[in-house]
């Protein structure tokens, strides 16, 4: 049930521009890719850090609210099951209330990525979800890229010449 092409749901050109802008804000593509690799190597998942901070050699990611391990596993499951990109639960499905609580919990969180050396850039912020309307909520492609998608996929989009 693994959906390795999750980033294909988004406009590749728009995602390319967004990733390049974020990479520039923390010091370049190399630093951005090192951030992704550090996140993938971290155990347990960085989102479950109690102090709401993930440090890597060249910077940090901070957020304001702790996220429990159960929420992270539910998020992983929901993003893989919903192949159309809409993670808002349909009434009557199994786990409706859990998914709705997940969305309510993560929606107000803002992630701040800052480089260790402030001369490299100002950093950037992003939220986990894009809310389109009252029945449609999608995972923010930047959130997906930073925390879940394989590094090779993000790198391919980041360096594409389209």
**With pLDDT > 70 as the criterion, what percentage of the chain qualifies?**
93
On average, the pLDDT of the chain sits at 89
Q: Which two tokens stand for residue 96?
A: 């409706």
Cα separation of 31 and 49, whole Å? Answer: 22
Q: Where are the alpha helices (DSSP H) in 7-68?
A: 12-25, 29-41
SS3 for 157? helix
Higher pLDDT, 113 or 84: 113
Position 80 confidence tier, pLDDT thresholds 50, 70, 90: confident
Exposure string over 18-27, b if 16+ CB within 10 A, otherwise e = bbbebbbbbb
Tell me: pLDDT of 130 over 60. Answer: yes
Q: Where are the domains of the chain?
A: 10-159
Q: Which two tokens stand for residue 39?
A: 């996140």
Tell me: pLDDT of 54 over 70. Answer: yes
Cα separation of 110 and 65, whole Å? Answer: 9
State residue 75's pLDDT score.
Answer: 92
C-alpha torsion sign, points 37, 43, 47, 51: negative
SS3 for 42? coil
State residue 84's pLDDT score.
Answer: 79
Asked whether 46 and 54 are in contact (CB, 8 A), the reply is yes
* Full-model pTM: 0.89
Asked whether 6 and 140 are in contact (CB, 8 A), the reply is no
Cα separation of 103 and 51, whole Å? Answer: 21
Higher pLDDT, 3 or 127: 127
Cα separation of 60 and 116, whole Å? Answer: 7
Cα separation of 141 and 126, whole Å? Answer: 10
**With pLDDT > 90 as the criterion, what percentage of the chain qualifies?**
69
**Region 113-120: what's the mean pLDDT?**
92
């Amino acid at each position: 049930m693994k959906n390795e092409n999750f980033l294909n749901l988004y406009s590749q050109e728009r995602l390319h521009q967004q990733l390049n802008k974020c990479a520039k804000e923390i010091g370049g593509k190399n630093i951005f890719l090192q951030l992704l690799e550090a996140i993938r190597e971290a155990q347990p998942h960085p989102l479950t850090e109690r102090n709401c901070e993930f440090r890597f050699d060249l910077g940090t990611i901070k957020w304001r609210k702790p996220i429990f391990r159960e929420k992270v596993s539910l998020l992983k499951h929901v993003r893989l099951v919903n192949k159309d990109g809409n993670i808002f639960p349909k009434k009557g499905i199994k786990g409706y209330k859990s998914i709705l609580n997940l969305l309510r919990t993560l929606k107000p969180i803002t992630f701040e990525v800052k480089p260790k050396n402030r001369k490299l850039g100002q950093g950037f912020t992003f939220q986990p979800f894009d809310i389109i309307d009252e029945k449609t909520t999608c995972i923010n492609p930047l959130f997906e890229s930073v925390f879940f998608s394989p590094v090779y996929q993000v790198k391919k989009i980041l360096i594409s010449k389209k």
